[in-house]
């Protein structure tokens, strides 16, 4: 790492600390009151490509032409989850109501000492898991993220939740899978998001909200190699400080036939996308991929990013 990147990270970490101190000093209510003007600012200043991408998604999820109200709502829900993430990460979950659905299945496995892979998406806020982890989760939870995001998440944890710093497993290193396997062998949870990947990753085009969209092959390949059961999880925003944390069975085991691996992978990716599609239709404003998800527009898409830099720093993959 160069001195420059080190310095940049120190700088953003200081900004992060300042921001969170401000929010904590003001309290959630004041922070929340600021979200509407902040949302308006980001809606009005969104780059054209982002605006087009957001509208394209909303049209598919809503099944009608979206109005400005819909666009605002999507950005607003995203802003809400960003504010909540700060509070949840810091363990300040008083005042939050989280309805947990489907925990029994996960709990049964964990109590039997079986490791579980949790597969989520950029849908809602997965920091809601934190509430659970803080409550009485008996095992370690380790998020798996791409290198760049892993560094940012580590910075975030360092600032807000030092006990969890170092829990992130960075993807793409020789020992990545060894780490994941050891966590699962200890009966722990590894969590990752299956809807986005950096450029250069292997993608599979599968049906999603009416057209083929690229989904990463990585998560399903990883689950195959690790051989642990896979459950889906989503922390859906249902209202101010109100979340629904869903756990759903996905695969007892993802096992890919070597003879026809690409087809088998595409099948799992399609199953994942189908479930995601149903949730997008039911909770359309929880979708936080603010880029040309289907790759349907001519000009080169910007790198997948959240609508503001601070949010991007906090957005895990």
Partner 1 sequence: MSVTSTVPLEAELARLIVEALHLETAPEEIDPEAPLFNEGLGLDSIDALEIALAISRRYGFQLRSDDERNHRIFASLRALAAHVEKHRTR
| Interface residues toward partner 1, by CB under 8 A | 171-179, 181-182, 221-222, 225-226, 258
Choose between 82 and 226: whose C-beta lies nearer to partner 1.
Answer: 226
In SS3 terms, 25-84 reads as HHCHHHHHHHHHHHHHHHHHHCCHHHHHHHHHHHHHHHCCCCCHHHHHHHHHHHHHHHHH
Least distance to partner 1, CB of residue 234, Å: 25
Task: Tell me the C-alpha to C-alpha distance, in Å, between residue 91 and each of 29, 71, 75, 77, 310.
Answer: 17, 31, 25, 21, 20
Least distance to partner 1, CB of residue 225, Å: 5
In SS3 terms, 246-279 reads as EEEEEECCCCCCCCCHHHHHHHHHHHHHHHHHHH
Choose between 145 and 209: whose C-beta lies nearer to partner 1.
Answer: 145
Three-class SS of residue 132?
helix
Tokens of residue 299, six digits: 């000009």
Choose between 17 and 179: whose C-beta lies nearer to partner 1.
Answer: 179
Tokens of residue 128, six digits: 């809601």
Of 183, 80, 74, 147, which is closest to residue 317 (Cα–Cα)?
Answer: 147
Give the whole-angstrom CA distance, residue 53 versus residue 43. Answer: 13
Choose between 102 and 172: whose C-beta lies nearer to partner 1.
Answer: 172
Strand 189-193 and strand 211-216: the pairing is unpaired
Choose between 82 and 150: whose C-beta lies nearer to partner 1.
Answer: 150
Least distance to partner 1, CB of residue 279, Å: 28
Least distance to partner 1, CB of residue 229, Å: 18
Least distance to partner 1, CB of residue 202, Å: 10
Choose between 202 and 281: whose C-beta lies nearer to partner 1.
Answer: 202
Within 10 angstroms of residue 153's Cβ, the number of other Cβ atoms is: 23
Least distance to partner 1, CB of residue 140, Å: 14
Within 10 angstroms of residue 244's Cβ, the number of other Cβ atoms is: 19
Choose between 26 and 178: whose C-beta lies nearer to partner 1.
Answer: 178
Strand 211-216 and strand 97-101: the pairing is unpaired
Least distance to partner 1, CB of residue 256, Å: 11
């Amino acid at each position: 790492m160069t001195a420059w990147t080190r310095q940049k990270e120190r700088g953003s970490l200081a900004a992060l600390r300042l921001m969170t101190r401000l929010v904590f000093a003001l309290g959630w209510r004041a922070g929340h009151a600021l979200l509407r003007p902040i949302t308006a600012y980001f809606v009005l200043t969104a780059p054209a490509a982002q605006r087009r991408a957001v509208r394209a998604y909303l049209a598919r999820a809503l099944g009608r032409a979206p109005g400005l109200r819909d666009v605002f709502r999507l950005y607003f829900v995203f802003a809400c989850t960003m504010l909540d993430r700060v509070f949840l990460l810091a363990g300040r979950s008083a005042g939050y109501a989280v309805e947990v659905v489907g925990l029994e299945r996960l709990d049964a496995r964990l109590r039997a000492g079986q490791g579980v892979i949790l597969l989520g998406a950029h849908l809602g806020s997965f920091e809601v898991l934190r509430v659970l982890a803080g409550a009485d989760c008996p095992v370690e939870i380790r998020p798996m993220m791409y290198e760049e995001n892993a560094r940012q998440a580590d910075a975030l944890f360092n600032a807000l939740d030092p006990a969890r710093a170092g829990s992130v497993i960075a993807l793409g290193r020789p020992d990545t899978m060894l780490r994941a396997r050891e966590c699962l062998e200890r009966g722990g949870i590894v969590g990752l998001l299956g809807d986005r990947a950096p450029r250069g990753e292997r993608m599979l085009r599968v049906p999603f909200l009416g057209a083929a969209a690229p989904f990463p092959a990585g998560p399903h390949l990883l689950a195959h190699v690790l051989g642990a059961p896979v459950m889906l999880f989503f922390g859906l925003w249902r209202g101010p400080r109100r979340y629904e944390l869903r756990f759903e069975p996905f695969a007892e085991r993802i096992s890919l036939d070597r003879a026809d691996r690409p087809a088998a992978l595409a099948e799992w990716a399609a199953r994942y996308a189908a479930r995601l599609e149903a949730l997008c239709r039911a909770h359309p404003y929880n979708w936080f991929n603010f880029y040309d998800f289907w790759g349907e527009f001519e000009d080169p898409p910007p790198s997948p990013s959240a609508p503001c830099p601070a949010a991007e720093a906090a957005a895990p993959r």
